[in-house]
Structure 1
Amino acid sequence: MPRVDYVSQEDLDDEYADLIVSSLQPGKRINVYSAIGNNPEVLAGFRAFLGSLWDHSGLSDRQREIVILTAASEFGSAYEWHQHVNVGTDAGLTPEEIAAIGRDDRTGFPIDEQALIAYTRAVVRGRVTDALHEAVESELGAEATIGAASTAAGYAALGQVIDALGVEIEDGDEFAGWDPR
């Protein structure tokens, strides 16, 4: 059960009203944004921050979704996982790869993506070593490594907010499952 009310567009000033709507599914109100919308300035900040990660991380769409799904898996955020299963598929991940991320099975991924998954889990745990950072940076470069660290930490923070506010999967949606095959 949500711990806060979900606000509607009508509850918000015009400058914030569209921030509770999905950028990927136009017209669809998203519960996490509707919950955070109880503090519109924080919502605007979250959306700007997550948008910068989305658009300017230096990661490919596939890499970005590997990071987000890995962070959601590591944190145990069913809501965030559910939101990104289809996005990950659209970014080129197979259902088998998504399921493997959920069980932390890296064997089917190329070396650079194995390193990215390990790095993301380490960021979420707060356990990045110099050797792991150097391995990822040698594969991805400094810009994308910073983007990966920031995306992992940003989505872990979002997962913590989701947990704190008790955000539920949207009405009418059924959880995609940790193994979406």
Structure 2
Amino acid sequence: MLNPLSDPDWPDEIADLREGFAGRLNVYRTMAHHPDLLRAWSSFRNHCVLGTALTPAQSEVVILRCGLRLRSDYEWQHHIIRGRKAGLSDARILSLCGALSGMAAEDAVLAAAVDELFTDSRLTQPLYDRVVALAGQKGLLDVMATVAHYTLLGFILNSFGVPLDEDIAAALRDAPLDGARPADGQ
């Protein structure tokens, strides 16, 4: 098992990343066992998180549906908090655990795209067209990039049992989301 690296164990060659995003989250502290991978990953991560053509709410819908499909409690719980910050209500977040028919129309398009990518590794033309109509051509590519990004993170999280970051655990203790969890979904 790979545990998140502590500050004293952090590799010197990526010392600059510890003070940024990588040092704040256990998933990246785990990835730091492979400094070259984390360094290469950082640009892609920054695009998917900070430079995406998706709105913050659209991005969180995609990420939450990925967390559900991956059965990643870590990702799901992190993005409950981030989804709320992006303006998603708890009811909207919970709807992402269910059937597409129970979601807002925009969320259903994005969740269907996540589902098709997980199931078929591609989008059918009708769904492709719906995503482009909703988010544009760049948004379509960013849906795919976001799914790819969070899929790798889900593999790391699920394979190594990465512990939830304490700030997220505390926020969820203070304001829990009652309802489904990734293990209950898809």
Q: TM-score, normalised on structure 2?
A: 0.81
**What is the aligned counterpart of 1:122 among 116, 139, 143?**
116
Report the counterpart of residue 83 of structure 1 in structure 2. 78
Tell which deviates more after alignment, 51-60 or 127-136: 127-136
Cα distance per residue 1:60-87 (max 9 Å; x no partner): 0111111111111111111111111111
Cα distance per residue 1:21-60 (max 9 Å; x no partner): 674xxx9742111111111121122232111111222000
RMSD: 2.6
Which 4+ runs in 1 deviate beyond 3 A? 17-23, 174-177
Contact (CA 8 Å) 2:3, 2:162: kept in 1 or not? Answer: no
Report the counterpart of residue 8 of structure 1 in structure 2. 6
Equivalent position SS for 1:4 = coil
CA distance in 2, matches of 1:42, 1:91: 29
Report the counterpart of residue 177 of structure 2 in structure 1. 180
Report the counterpart of residue 113 of structure 1 in structure 2. 107
Report the counterpart of residue 98 of structure 1 in structure 2. 93
Q: Greater share of helix residues, 1 or 2?
A: 2
CA distance in 1, matches of 2:13, 2:81: 29
Alignment of 1:134-153 (within 5 A): 134-153=129-148
Unpaired runs of 5+ in structure 1? none
- C-alpha deviation, 1:176, in angstroms: 4.7
**Which residue identity lines up with residue 110 of structure 2 in the other structure?**
L
Q: How many residues align?
A: 174
Percent sequence identity over aligned pairs = 25
Q: TM-score, normalised on structure 1?
A: 0.83
Contact (CA 8 Å) 1:20, 1:37: kept in 2 or not? Answer: no
CA distance in 2, matches of 1:118, 1:139: 13
| Residues 104 and 72 of structure 1: CA distance in aligned 2, closer, same or farther (over 3 Å) | farther
